Structures are given as C-alpha cells and as structure tokens.
Amino acid sequence: MPVIVVGADTPQGRAIVPALTPTSGEVRLFVSDPAVAGELRTVGKVAVGDISDGTHVGGAAIGAFCAVVIAAAAHDDRERHFASSPRLVFSQWADGLKDAAVSRIIFVAGAADAAISDKLAMAAPEFVVVPADRAPADVAAEVSGLEQAQKIS
C-alpha cells in the first residue's frame, strides 16, 4: 500500500526509506530541500514543499494508506513558514494527513515530541509512536514492520 515519509531528508528518514522500499509498493518522500529531492528520485516519488504547511504535506499524501512522520523535521534548521514550533508543525501535519484520509500514522519521535502529539494521534484511525532514541537501523526495522502490519492499534 502507498506510504509517505514526511521528513525523508532527515537522518532518520534516510534510514527508514530503504527499509520500506522493497516491500511497500509505492513510496513517497516529502522533503524541503530540492537538492535532496534529486538524490531521492531513484527511490520513490518525491514532493518538495514547506514541512510546516499541512496543505503541502496533505496534498502529497492523498491516496497514501500510511504516513511515517519524522519529528526531527520539526526541529532542524530548515525554513518553516506556517508553524514556528514543533507542536504547531505536528498540528499542521495532523490537518493535512486527516484531509488526505491517511489510515495509519507512524510517528518517529522522542518522548518530548510524543507527549505533544495529541492532535496527530487523532488524525488517523491508527496511530503509533516509534521511539527515535535508538540505532537508526532498529528504528527503520520497527517502522517497516508496523507499515506492513495488518493492524497496529
């Protein structure tokens, strides 16, 4: 089923994408950096936009069953025009993913971000947090397993 990785241009996103590619059918990658987009086009469909704009994220997610959202994309030094804090970025993601009718959200986040993900948790019928404070390969393996699962809630 189609999956979108929001923040595919983060270190965690770059570790997760190859774990999804062989088994997930269509893989979409949402990034902010056009240079990174060029690198990732061989892996999946790439959308370039403002990570803090829910309409950009939601538009790229239309038709996707699962969204893997990387909390680190709300914290790094990329430019954000619509939301100035991680909580507001997560809220934008929630609005966009809900509008896109995504069925499953896998939120890769630390404990502090997981604690402020209430709106994101309500944006899809299935929601799970994958702790980000582990080895990238371990996080990628867990995300891949969850993305392939019949049901996660």
Which residues make Cβ contacts (< 8 Å) with residue 64, sequence separation at least 6? 1, 2, 3, 4, 26, 28, 100, 102
Over residues 97-125, mean pLDDT: 95
**Domain coverage including residue 13:** 3-148
Please indicate, yes or no, if residue 69 is contained in any of the structural domains: yes
Counted domains in the chain: 1
Please indicate, yes or no, if residue 153 is contained in any of the structural domains: no
Residues 133-152 pLDDT 10s: 999 999 999 999 999 888 88
pTM of the full structure: 0.93
- Residue 39 corresponds to which tokens in the numbers above? 């690198």
Please indicate, yes or no, if residue 16 is contained in any of the structural domains: yes
- Residue 129 corresponds to which tokens in the numbers above? 């947090």
Given a cut of 90, is residue 34 above it in pLDDT? no
Gap between the terminal Cα atoms of the chain: 18
- Residue 150 corresponds to which tokens in the numbers above? 């019949």
Over residues 6-17, mean pLDDT: 93
